[in-house]
């Protein structure tokens, strides 16, 4: 029932070419039918994708429901899940207002790779203003992941490259399969990261490592990525989604307010000056402890209706 409602909400059955584009801006043409020089093909594509995504998820994205966990799958396996304008607009649309029952979201990719990055075939004709606008659309989409109302778990396998790594860096938890590898090949194409990677990736691995990756084309394996901070979990190939569901279901048992504080306030506290951070921390602590559900859970602990935290080995409690 939940999955049916989700499909009805996003109407995933209709292909993009059947979407009503009546509200998009008409293509400006000269009298001989050629496109006006005032707007490039790239600009028109970007406008149409943004407008269409307000109605539907594009064919490159598939949403499904697993109890309180919503799954969003990148579904362009023939293109190694390269991120085009329609996909980015769809990601922005989805994370701006996920299904109401959602307590956690899993982001994963179909096929052999998580994402090979930006679809370069869509950006070759872009002018500087259009490129800036495209980056801003990526910022909005990925900000909706990082600063949305629910935690996001990404499952990484195969290539996590360029814009795909920028996308993964916006998630709160990353589970990598052993096939995963990380790369930032922008410099070999003569371009630069444009999806927030220059801000998010150094937070994971440090600025000097990112510089090294971009200057030399260095890649990291899944095992190396675990130690560097690209992922927090490493599992065998084919087990990433199951691990992500396990984590997401555990996350979904937390209170909504506590999860919100963790994904919204904690990163900002970590980036702030100590005095401001201490103040924000105290405010969030006061707000969460005053929540009725939190009070019930604390009482359950005092009344020994819930187990204490156990050592991973099970040998002791603390």
CA–CA separation, 146 and 228 (whole Å)? 20
Q: How far apart are CA 203 and CA 194, in angstroms?
A: 16
Interacting residues of 167 by C-beta distance below 8 A, sequence separation 6+ = 83, 91, 107, 115, 142, 145, 154, 195
Pairing of strands 69-74, 104-109: parallel
Catalytic annotation present for 30:
no
Cα–Cα distance measured from residue 24 to residue 176, given in angstroms and rounded to the nearest whole number: 39
Whole-angstrom distance, CA of residue 188 vs CA of residue 191: 8
Which residue is catalytic, options 52, 92, 166, 177? 166
Query: What number of other Cβ atoms are within 10 A of residue 181's Cβ?
Result: 20
Give which of 86, 91, 51, 55 is closest to 72, Cα–Cα: 91
The pair phi, psi for residue 252, each rounded to 5°, is -65, -15
CB 201 within 8 A of CB 145: no
Q: Tally Cβ neighbours within 10 Å of residue 159.
A: 23
Of residues 50, 52, 92, 186, which has the active-site annotation? Answer: 186
* Residue 186 among the catalytic residues: yes
Length, in residues, of the chain: 318
- For residues 89 and 53, the answer to whether their CB atoms sit within 8 Å is yes
Distances (CA, A) of 105 to 85, 145, 246, 265: 22, 9, 12, 19
* CB-based contact 197:166 (threshold 8 Å): yes
- Residues identified as active-site: 166, 186
């Amino acid at each position: 029932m939940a999955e049916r409602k989700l499909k009805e909400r996003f109407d995933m059955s209709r292909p993009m070419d059947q979407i009503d584009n009546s509200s998009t801006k008409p293509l400006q043409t000269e009298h001989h039918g050629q496109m006006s020089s005032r707007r490039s093909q790239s600009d028109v594509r970007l406008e149409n994708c943004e407008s269409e995504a307000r109605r539907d998820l594009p064919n490159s994205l598939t949403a499904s429901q697993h109890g309180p966990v919503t799954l969003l799958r990148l579904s362009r396996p023939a293109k190694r899940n390269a991120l085009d304008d329609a996909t980015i607009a769809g990601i922005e649309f989805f994370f701006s207002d996920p299904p109401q029952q959602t307590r956690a979201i899993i982001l994963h990719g179909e096929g052999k790779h998580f994402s090979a990055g930006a679809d370069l075939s869509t950006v070759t004709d872009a002018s500087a203003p259009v490129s800036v606008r495209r980056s801003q659309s990526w910022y909005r989409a990925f900000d909706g992941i990082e600063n949305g109302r629910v935690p996001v778990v990404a499952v990484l396998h195969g290539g996590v490259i360029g814009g795909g790594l920028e996308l993964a860096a916006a998630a709160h938890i990353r589970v990598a399969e052993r096939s995963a590898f990380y790369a930032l090949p922008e410099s070999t194409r003569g371009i630069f990261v444009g999806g927030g990677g220059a801000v998010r990736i150094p937070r994971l691995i440090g600025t000097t490592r990112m510089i090294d990756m971009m200057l030399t084309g260095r890649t990291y394996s899944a095992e190396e990525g675990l130690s560097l901070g690209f992922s927090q979990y490493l599992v065998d190939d084919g087990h990433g989604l199951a691990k992500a569901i396990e984590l997401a279901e555990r996350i979904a048992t937390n209170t909504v307010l506590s999860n919100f504080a963790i994904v919204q306030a904690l990163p900002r506290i970590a980036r702030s000056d100590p005095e401001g951070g201490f103040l924000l921390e105290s405010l969030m602590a006061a707000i969460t402890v005053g929540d009725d559900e939190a009070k019930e859970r604390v009482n359950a602990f005092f009344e020994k209706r819930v187990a204490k935290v156990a050592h991973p080995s099970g040998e002791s409690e603390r």
